[in-house]
Amino acid sequence: MERDNILEVKDLKTYFKIREGIVKAVDGVSFELKHGESLGFVGESGCGKTTTALSIIKLLSENGYIESGKILFGGEDLAPLSENEMLSKRWNDISMIFQGSMNALNPVMKVGDQIIEAIRLHEPVDAKEARERVERLFKLVNIDTGLVDSYPHEFSGGMRQRAIIAMALACNPSLIIGDEPTTALDVMVQAQIIDLINDLRQKLNMSMIIITHDLSIISEVCDRVAVMYAGKIVEIGTVEEVIFNYKHPYTEKLIKAFPNIFGEREMVASIPGVPPNLLDPPKGCLFAARCHKKIGDICDRIQPELKEIGAEGHMVACHLWEAN
């Protein structure tokens, strides 16, 4: 494990057992995250972004399991750890803002108390100390400390999301994973949350993984970005390289389906065709059936490997670039 890296994921395979067979939701994903770095994940719905994140904190649903691979966090492999061993890592080392978490606050409990409870569940601090910490956290995420004793319904959507972020920060994790942290917020509020995330990154030097459909968020808060398709990373590199000098035809489609990258935020317009069935994925390149740059038979027969093609660790999995 390289010293600058906080996280190294190596050939991770996470599958789900269903009645019809095995869903290969994440199928050979590898990436690294440096201390203080922010890595984005993009890709269409169902490509395995959330499953990758849930694998890292080991919160997969009952039918999900890590088939193989390593999740090196600070040098320690999390993949084989038991639920008990993971309990000390979650919140304290890694925390996650879950997809759809905006509505995750308990409606009948004061917001401050919910965060106090979370802190005391994970650290041996008394009630007074925990409350002081909540006040500091509220200041950090720009919520009026007078609102510690308010209920979630007294909070606006943006404030609820700030409270969720405060909760994720409560035990000083060194890695935060945000799964669609701004989805469902209106445009103005999204912009404020993005500013907050950037501000927190500077102040706390956190390492972050940000999952989103929104390429403009990637360009605003991430240093590097991984493009996922059908359970695999098909392109990864600096935001500059991947967005402005993309190499994978899927990345190209994704970017072109999102015309307003620096303007209005929109959901990704659909790319013609559908991703392959992860119960029985095709043998060759998983994007071949939808690809406008298919070079021939090789694309259907052989799965291209993720290979470095140039600047600053820019990697792509596509036969078009294999010869280089």
Site of interaction with ligand ATP (CB under 6 A): 16, 18, 23, 25, 43, 45-51, 61, 63-64, 99, 278
Q: Which sign does the torsion angle of CA 179, 184, 185, 186 carry?
A: positive
In whole angstroms, how close is the CB of 150 to ligand ATP at the nearest point? 30
**CB nearer to ligand ATP: pick between 159 and 180:** 180
**CB nearer to ligand ATP: pick between 47 and 225:** 47
Residues numbered 74-103 forming contacts with Mg ion, rule: CB under 5 A: 99
51 near Mg ion, judged by CB under 5 A: no
Q: What angle do CA 301, 305, 310 make, to 5 degrees?
A: 135
8 A C-beta contact, residue 34 and residue 6: yes
**CB nearer to ligand ATP: pick between 200 and 222:** 222
Q: Which sign does the torsion angle of CA 156, 157, 158, 159 carry?
A: positive
Closest CA to 12 of 22, 2, 24: 24
In whole angstroms, how close is the CB of 48 to Mg ion at the nearest point? 8
| Residue 173 near which of Mg ion, ligand ATP, none (CB within 5-8 Å, type-dependent) | none
How many CB atoms lie under 10 A from the CB of residue 188? 8
50 near Mg ion, judged by CB under 5 A: yes
How many CB atoms lie under 10 A from the CB of residue 214? 22
- Across the beta sheet with 64-73, the strand order is 21-34, 5-18, 64-73, 76-77
174 near Mg ion, judged by CB under 5 A: no
212 near Mg ion, judged by CB under 5 A: no
**CB nearer to ligand ATP: pick between 174 and 183:** 183
Determine which helix (DSSP H) or strand (DSSP E) holds 254, and give its type and residue range.
Answer: helix 249-256
In whole angstroms, how close is the CB of 179 to Mg ion at the nearest point? 6
| Residue 127 near which of ligand ATP, Mg ion, none (CB within 5-8 Å, type-dependent) | none
In whole angstroms, how close is the CB of 175 to ligand ATP at the nearest point? 18
In whole angstroms, how close is the CB of 63 to ligand ATP at the nearest point? 5
In whole angstroms, how close is the CB of 275 to Mg ion at the nearest point? 14
**CB nearer to ligand ATP: pick between 52 and 95:** 52
Q: Is 123 exposed, middle or buried (0-12, 13-18, 19+ CB in 10 A)?
A: middle
In whole angstroms, how close is the CB of 79 to Mg ion at the nearest point? 21
Lookup: tokens for 217: 């968020």
Number of residues that bind Mg ion (CB under 5 A): 3
Residue type, 230: A
For 290, which DSSP code?
A: G
* SS3 sequence of 46-114: CCCHHHHHHHHCCCCCCCEEEEEEEEEECCEECCCCCHHHHHCCECCCEEEECCCHHHCCCCCCCHHHH
**CB nearer to ligand ATP: pick between 16 and 91:** 16
| Residue 73 near which of ligand ATP, Mg ion, none (CB within 5-8 Å, type-dependent) | none
| Residue 5 near which of ligand ATP, Mg ion, none (CB within 5-8 Å, type-dependent) | none
52 near Mg ion, judged by CB under 5 A: no
| Residue 278 near which of ligand ATP, Mg ion, none (CB within 5-8 Å, type-dependent) | ligand ATP
Which residues form the interface with Mg ion (CB under 5 A)?
49-50, 99
